[in-house]
Amino acid sequence: MIFDIIKRRRSVFPAQYNNRPIVKSDIEKILEAANYAPTHKRTEPWRFKVLQGESKDKLGIFLAEKYKENDPSPKDFKYRKLLDNPKKSGAVIAICMQRDQKESLPEWEELASTAMAVQNMWLRCTEMGIGCYWSSTGLIKYMDEFFDLKSGEKCLGFFYMGHYDEEVPVVPRGPVTDKVIWL
């Protein structure tokens, strides 16, 4: 069963979402799955900020305006996408990482733990029939202007989620034997 879910996991984008909202109890199930990611020295570095309703709209406005402000030749289609993607989503979760204040382990290990938490969320969404994808726009470096980030906390991107109607295509993978060397 788990391998079938792993094979079905795909990026499903806001343009594919319908208008059906994602209920809070489903978001809580998705976040609970994230909370069981592996974590070295039990730092549990993943942090999430859930945006629904008006907060999604505000995020879109912030991202679009920040893009226009910082790109010397902004493209209208990119501006619109940044503005509209949060609105089209049933929910957006800001993916953040809280660095261990003692720096008792390398930062990459906390990044890896946070990424594994997101993979758990993705697999849970797949199981529940909710589309999602992780956007890691260059604008995340400005998110301390939008969120109240704690010392050592950084935003790593956005987890867009939404219900969808169309079939998600199966994407073939090259054989694992091409990627493994047995010693």
Residue 133 near residue 13 (C-beta atoms within 8 A): yes
**Which CA distances in Å does 22 have to 66, 114, 180?**
27, 23, 40
Rounded distance, CA 116 to CA 93, Å?
15
Q: Indicate the pLDDT class of residue 159, thresholds 50, 70 and 90.
A: very high
In the chain the domains, ranked by start, together with CATH numbers, are 2-179 (3.40.109.10)
Confidence of residue 117 (pLDDT cuts 50, 70, 90): very high
**What average pLDDT does the segment 64-90 reach?**
96
Please state the rounded mean pLDDT for residues 114-137: 97
Q: Quickly tell me which residue has 């679009």 as its tokens.
A: 64
pTM: 0.94
Residue 1: predicted pLDDT: 87
Cβ contact 125:132 at 8 Å: yes
Residues belonging to the binding site for FMN are 9-11, 40, 134-136
**How big is the chain, counted in residues?**
183
User: Which amino acid would we find at residue 84?
Assistant: D
What stretches of 39-181 adopt beta strand conformation (E)?
Answer: 46-51, 91-98, 131-135, 153-162
Instruction: Identify the pLDDT of residue 148.
Output: 94
| Residue numbering of the annotated binding site | 9-11, 40, 134-136
Residue 169 has pLDDT above 90, yes or no: no
Q: What is the mean pLDDT of the chain?
A: 96
Average the pLDDT over 145-155 and give the result: 96
